[in-house]
Amino acid sequence: MEHIDRLFDGISNQYDRFNHITSMGIDRSWRRQAVRSLPVGGTLLDVAVGTGDLSIEALRQRKVSHVVGIDISDGMMEVAKAKLQRMGLQDKVTLQHADCAQLPFADGTFDAITCGYGVRNFAQLDQSLAEMYRVLRPGGQLRILEFTYPTNPLIRFFYDFYLTRVMPRIGKRLTQQGDSFVYFMNSIKRFDKGNAFLAHLEKVGFAETRYKQQTFGISSLYMACKK
């Protein structure tokens, strides 16, 4: 979809509420698991930082003392900025408008990179992953959270109904932009999941690739490192 930045700008004020309502709050535990798997210390880049939840969780768990967060949606980062100020964390997260396919950082800048529910929206997936690999130092860790599909047929049936019929209606009621959430749901279906996504990571050079399903496979945590 074109103009993905404007799409996210249009729903930014209700994005957190939508996530927490539609996931019944489970999305918080998914982020906790992702951050818990990271080593302590070093510099962290949060790609597609959105409203800042993953960055905040990294600080809460004291994995890092400072985070650089990048996104193409200024609206989402404005929400993140306000949230960080309320929590007194405004000096611990540097927010920057940047395209993940052209990261404005030198090679080997970061010790870890995270990305929460953003990669399925990348217009240039392999190029963006290659850029993440480039700015990661040797031995650095990558953690990506992304929505997937349950493997159990029964759970998958009910999840598909919820995903395609219920969630867009909730999104429309919250934001008056139901079409945006139809796009989001379709993007989950189209995204290369599981081993198919690991193949993208390996293609650009990442090693020790693996993934862990969360909550019946609704979400997956992808893990890799740069040798």
Q: What domain count does the chain have?
A: 1
For residue 98, tell me if it sits in a domain: yes
pLDDT of residue 18: 65
For residue 52, tell me if it sits in a domain: yes
Out of 15-24, 181-190, 215-224, pick the least confident.
Answer: 15-24
Element (H, E) at 211: strand 207-214
- 189 band by pLDDT with thresholds 50, 70 and 90: confident
Of the chain, the percentage scoring pLDDT greater than 70 comes to: 85
Domain CATH code at residue 120: 3.40.50.150
Under DSSP, the state recorded for 33 is: H
For residue 210, tell me if it sits in a domain: yes
- 2 band by pLDDT with thresholds 50, 70 and 90: very low
Q: Reduced to 3 states, what is the DSSP secondary structure of residue 152?
A: coil
Which comes out higher in pLDDT, residue 216 or 108? 108
What is the end-to-end Cα distance of the chain in Å, rounded? 34
Question: What range does the domain containing 10 cover?
Answer: 4-149+190-225
For residue 177, tell me if it sits in a domain: no
Out of 55-64, 149-158, 170-179, 181-190, pick the least confident.
Answer: 170-179
For residue 157, tell me if it sits in a domain: no
For residue 182, tell me if it sits in a domain: no
For residue 167, tell me if it sits in a domain: no
For residue 214, tell me if it sits in a domain: yes
